Amino acid sequence: MKLLMFDLDGTLLNEHSDLNPYTKEVLEKVHNAGVKLGIATGRPVSTVEKKLKNWGMEHIITIVVGMNGSHIKDLETGYFKHLPYMPAEGIDEVITLFSDLPCDIAISDENHLYMKEFGFFAEWISRNDYLHFVKTDFSNERKQEWAKICVCTMPENMPQMIERLQQFKRTDMVGNLASRYTLEFTNMEINKGVGIRKLCAGLGIAMEDVMSFGDANNDLRMLEAVGYPVAMINGTDEVKAIAKDITTYDNVADGVAKYIEEHFNEIVGG
């Protein structure tokens, strides 16, 4: 493998959305063996950069696919590109579709979080993603193109959100279950797999030489795109169905790191 790509929440990070010391140690070991490491997440690239700096990993993990593939960056060269966003009409449709349900709508860019109220989800997202909260009634946001829009709710309400999602019929956008708290909508043609492919083309890395780890349905296209997809044992059934292998341990118990340690020689070509 020449590149390892990791989803963050539910995959590389623990239950506190942090990087365990053991996982950090293993990733440094792989990097020192000459394998590139990257992150593919629904979060902004700017968020990932700040987290990597906090972890002291900004020179270890150098490839970032953010906003579920809409934003890509090579941290070594500074190359940054955004891929096509969702149309304004689709943004308006999502906001309207879920307006009567017990949920919060969240729209973000690389630096700001737009929501109606600074409640539980706004506080959590702005704090964890280092985003500046902007209170809005979405009158302006409905008229703009965006990389991602989220529907946030408590887990007990998620079945109701998924049922309502069936009424969303646009062919240029897709909504996926990203976590037990969120549905994420993105451009139908853009996903983590597309973002990785764009970066790999510039790096001269073949997709068959890429291994990826994921747990949620917004990781499906990433797992399908690479040569060796690995599902987390805590992942969804859909993710496990397309993976070539499944970790023995979950994200809380350093599942990624323990899998890499077990297969280290195979991964680095030793």
Q: Tell me, what CATH number does 147's domain have? A: 3.30.1240.10
Give yes or no: residues 61 and 111 share one domain.
no
94 lies in which domain range?
A: 88-187
Give the predicted TM-score (pTM) of the model.
0.93
Give yes or no: residues 177 and 195 share one domain.
no
Give yes or no: residues 125 and 251 share one domain.
no
How far CA 81 is from CA of 69, 72, 199, 222, in Å, comes to: 10, 5, 10, 18
Q: Total structural domains in the chain? A: 2
* pLDDT tens figures, 52-94: 999 999 999 999 999 999 999 999 999 999 999 999 999 999 9
Give yes or no: residues 116 and 179 share one domain.
yes
Give yes or no: residues 129 and 171 share one domain.
yes
Give yes or no: residues 134 and 150 share one domain.
yes
Give yes or no: residues 168 and 143 share one domain.
yes
pLDDT band at 142 (very low <50, low <70, confident <90, very high): very high
Domain boundary among 187, 212, 239: 187
Residue 9 and residue 179 in contact, taking contact as beta carbons nearer than 8 Å = yes
